[in-house]
Amino acid sequence: LILARIGDTYRDEKKIKEAVKIYQLVHKRFQVSKGSLISLIRLAEVKELYSSKTKNLIKMSSKEIYEKIIDNSMDNETNHSFSHIAMLKLAGLSIDKEAYEESLGTLKELSELRLSRELKKKRKYVLKNTLEQMIKKEMSRGGYNRIIEIYEQEKEQFLVVDSPELLLSVAKAYKNLNFEKMAIQMFRNIEPSLQDKNKPPGLLLLLSKSLFKDNKFKTAIAALNVLLENDLTGKYSGLAFQLKGEIYLAQKKNIQAIKMFYFALEYQIPECRRVKLLINLAGILSRSGSMQKALAAVREADSLKKTCNTVNSYAYEEAGDIYLDLGYPKEAAANFKKAVAMTKRSADKT
């Protein structure tokens, strides 16, 4: 052990050649001893860090050295910890060469062994790194199905790591594949553990919709406010303002609702959603006595409805009611007629 420590001193002083000679001497003279196994670990570590300098000094690769340590210590109960260390090192080498499945397999094998408290912490760290790199690689190439497959297969390992950031990537994968229910469920579980700046706008929008449906208006508004702070590109801001308007409308806070709907109109919103926004806005304006503004909004909605295939009969009924309130019976009749026709077609299909 003393000689091995002398080797460590040389290594720390960057005297690699001298350190290697000491480690090799200890291993050769005191085989299967603790000093020998420590020296083997040091040789493998030095080989990793100084591969070019040690090319002719250390003939074996780091992987071969770690495998040798495992072979030499597995049968000796007092030296088991050295095999555990070597297995952790092998997992780390697998990460470096992007052999993540190999790393995961080694780490799962380690989980079945009796590890010291310190090695359990190190295993958790390497496991977290392995899963993060696996998910990061798949996310970069749009492998959302693979991300979900990894999560479903390795749930137990995800629980061990207990990383909200890692689960956030899985939630994003669910969202990108339109598994909104799963995305919301996962995001709800981890959202309190995340800093506001790390909460993705897309998932915040899904969460806010879910909270709105549950009549949790205050919490939904708070989530939307975080979304608007984080949405630097403005991709989700229009929909966020629209949803805020709908929440205020449900609470009969008409002034706030009108303000939010006008904010939303400043953004690019899909036509069919814009139709709903304009009809909601026209209805509030009409009830508030702003007849000209209401008329402009409902007419814009009318022009968009023609190119939107997902507008339902309810939108035409609402538009008809607004036209009636504004004193335009002809336009109201046209919308009611369309609503009746859509309802009939829907009934015929069932």
User: What pLDDT digit, counting tens, does each position of 61-75 carry?
Assistant: 889 888 888 887 665
**pLDDT for the residue 247:** 98
CB 67 within 8 A of CB 80: no
Beta strands in 26-109, from DSSP E residues, in sequence order: none
Q: Looking at 63-72, 113-122, 206-215, which range is the least confident one?
A: 63-72
Measure the CA–CA gap between 230 and 248, rounded to whole angstroms: 22
Q: Dihedral sign, CA of 22, 28, 30, 36?
A: positive
Q: Which amino acid is at 2?
A: I
206: burial class by Cβ within 10 Å (0-12, 13-18, 19+)? buried
329: tokens are 């019976």
DSSP 260-293: HHHHHHTS---HHHHHHHHHHHHHHHHHTT-HHH
Measure the CA–CA gap between 6 and 26, rounded to whole angstroms: 11
What tens digit of pLDDT does each residue of 272-282 get?
A: 899 999 999 99
Q: Which amino acid is at 321?
A: D
Q: Minimal CA–CA distance to 257: which of 242, 278, 279?
A: 242
**pLDDT for the residue 4:** 75
**pLDDT for the residue 33:** 73
Quick one: pLDDT band at residue 240, thresholds 50, 70, 90? very high
What tens digit of pLDDT does each residue of 16-57 get?
A: 888 888 878 877 777 767 777 888 888 888 888 887 788 788
What tens digit of pLDDT does each residue of 301-329 get?
A: 988 887 777 777 888 899 999 999 999 99
**pLDDT for the residue 77:** 59
Q: Looking at 38-42, 186-190, 261-265, which range is the least confident one?
A: 38-42
Quick one: pLDDT band at residue 1, thresholds 50, 70, 90? low
